[in-house]
Chain A
């Protein structure tokens, strides 16, 4: 199928909704939409950030995942206790691939799992004592940790433990930052509230630690990278571009980040926000309290990267702007070669996305640089303001789906027949078995980085490697195979 018309897309949505009982149909209808450039405001065409209906197979996570997994987890020199039963932390351990530098178990701890391993007696008698002992043990075994966060799992809120009191007591005893985070999984409708709670915990327990301390030598070019989790090294490939432009990156939030960087962020001149969804809260807070402006940027694909670099440079003086142009010129041949190599192999291919915080809209430009079209996109836990920002990026009459259910996603794919799907691990194998090329766009399918000019080369290679993989032609029995298609592909390689 080529480009779908408005009517076709509308009919497709109706067809997919058909199967639901009346009430569910009404609810789900509000979450499925076709993109309309005329619509000034997303809330007129799509509903988001609402509780998933019981019985629907949602792909969302919980508030604990948003706080421990996303915001706090990557801060490498702190120990993040998954407070409660063992499973929440163990089954999500090291899954996000937040790269970092350090010696794990000595001065950095990201890929380790610390848990208070609740048993029945802790539920009955409370777990505060256990938490207290645990922090003592951590201090003994891992003395180089720079602080501790207590990430609450569901039971903590249910049994009414006072983790704040333990945190305060331990902070006094050890002199280190101890942060209690009330991110019990049942709060809110998705991991999104976990981001918010984690941001608030940063604000209340860590951010102002050096407010009265001016010993840090600042420069007029200090910036912080906010909302880059260094997945496969993303923050590093972003950071080098900013540094080449003449800026000084004081902090990375939170991929490869440290508590010291967090504490120094109130001293920077500009906050650069990559993932708006998970860290806009703290950026807004810093703007109000410390007068630090923030801007959103996008480092996926050369077009958007160059555009964002110029936008960032426009907040600084001419020397930075001149250097910014130099950097763009320096990398131009590099990325033009990447496009020359891969575009002919990917041109015109159609992609459907379903991801988390920023990628449903941020990667569109990178695909377009390769001549590919994104024909459907959606957020697991996006809010209204995310869709506001998405409408402009997507083509007219393309599909938008919020908190898509397993069934809907499959049906859409069957009808739209994209050449590539970008989504998460839970979706991966279903679509691969259906014979549709798939890239895992949360953890880059064990690849990366994808940010910046260097990342784009890897992005393009990965998309080609997946889409034009000979395995897709082997899914049919040999006697049913269409030989001509395979030869054509081999010839173009």
Chain B
């Protein structure tokens, strides 16, 4: 369960930063991003998948959360 930090980058894209892994990628899709909560399965621009326990609503960014590695990545 890596700790990840989610923030908006200078171009206004949601980015996913895993300090331990030096991974800094933009989020291409996130399962829940609206009235039904925020989080779920996250796909990054390099194709890797993560899972965030959904939050009831979009949090104030940046935020540090625990994520699970998902999918085949």
Please state if B24 and A384 are interface contacts (CB–CB under 8 Å).
Answer: yes
Q: List CB contacts (< 8 Å) of A294-335 with chain B.
A: 295
Contact check, A41 vs B46: say whether CB atoms are below 8 A apart: yes
- Contact at B24–A385, with CB atoms within 8 Å? yes
**Contact yes or no, B64 A281, CB < 8 A:** no
The answer to whether A385 and B64 have CB atoms under 8 Å apart is: no
Cα distance A383–B19 in the bound complex, in angstroms: 11
Is A464 part of the contact surface with B, judged by Cβ < 8 Å?
A: no
Smallest CB separation, A56 vs chain B (Å): 21
Interface size range of chain B in the complex: 10 to 19
8 nearest A-B pairs in the assembled complex, by CB-CB distance: A383-B22, A384-B22, A288-B62, A385-B24, A287-B62, A41-B46, A49-B22, A284-B5
17 pairs of residues in contact across A and B, judged by CB atoms under 8 Å: A40-B45, A41-B25, A41-B45, A43-B46, A48-B22, A284-B7, A284-B17, A284-B62, A288-B5, A288-B62, A288-B63, A295-B10, A383-B22, A384-B22, A384-B23, A384-B24, A385-B22
Known: A41-B46, A295-B10. A288 touches B64 (CB 8 A): yes
Q: How many residues of A contact B (CB 8 A)?
A: 15
A117: interface (CB < 8 Å): no
With CB as the reference atom, state the residue of chain A lying closest to B60: A291
Write out the residue numbers on chain B whose beta carbons fall within 8 Å of the beta carbon of A384: 22-24
Q: With a CB–CB cut-off of 8 A, which chain A residues contact B23?
A: 384
**Residue interface mask A382-397, B partner, CB < 8 A = 1:** 0111001000000000
Count A-B contacts at CB 8 Å.
28
A contact residues around B64 at 8 Å (CB): 288
Main secondary structure of the interface of A (DSSP, over half): helix
A386 to chain B, nearest CB (A): 9
- Most A Cβ at <10 Å: residue of B45, B46, B62, B63: B62
CB distance from B12 to the nearest CB of A (A): 12
B22 to chain A, nearest CB (A): 4
Q: Are A287 and B10 touching (Cβ within 8 A)?
A: no
Q: Name B36-71 residues within 8 Å CB distance of A.
A: 45-46, 62-64
